[in-house]
Amino acid sequence: MKHLSRRSVTTGALAAVTMIPAVGLSVGAKATNAEVPAEDAELRRLWAEYLVQLRLLKDREVACSAARVGFDAEFPPCPEGVLPGHHWDAYDWLWRKHGLHRLYSAMNREHRKLIKIAKAIRKTKAETLFGVGVKLSVSECFEEADVVEAR
């Protein structure tokens, strides 16, 4: 029997949950316009918007990660006897040199937009399998507290 790790269980569950909207979409594609509830039409619109926004967020995260590598390479360790916050403040110029203040602000804007769409999805009633899958897919979405504010 294969050993089950937390990662394999989580990955399998995530894959199953993210496939539900795709299954619902293929089922919903066979229905006529009269058969698609207005709420699910709204969920379809919100889901498409969510996926576009998620792609934008991922692109911003890649840009931040690339710039952060350069920053981390130049950022010296905190000296003995210096508070970490003071050390960090002393190197704010380095953060700005790498453009991380702008990049993180842009990433946070995209993240807040994604949260807004996820909240709209949660509030919209689902009447088909597609709608249920969409709601499950965003049920563990980011909360405002998870957004890292740029310095």
Residue 106: count of CB within 10 angstroms of its CB: 18
Phi-psi domain of 3 (left: phi exceeds 0; alpha: psi -120 through 50; beta: other): beta
Q: What is the tens place of the pLDDT at every residue in 108-148?
A: 999 999 999 999 999 999 989 999 999 998 876 655 555 55
pLDDT on residue 83: 95
Structure tokens at 121: 């999805």
Q: What is the tens place of the pLDDT at every residue in 64-105?
A: 999 999 999 999 999 999 999 999 999 999 999 999 999 999
- The CA distance from 97 to 82, in Å, is 23
pLDDT on residue 50: 95
Confidence of residue 19 (pLDDT cuts 50, 70, 90): low
Average pLDDT score over the chain: 79
Nearest to 137 by CA among 56, 57, 50: 50
Q: Which residues contact 132 (CB under 8 A, 6 or more apart)?
A: 20, 24, 126
> Stretch 17-35: mean pLDDT, rounded?
50
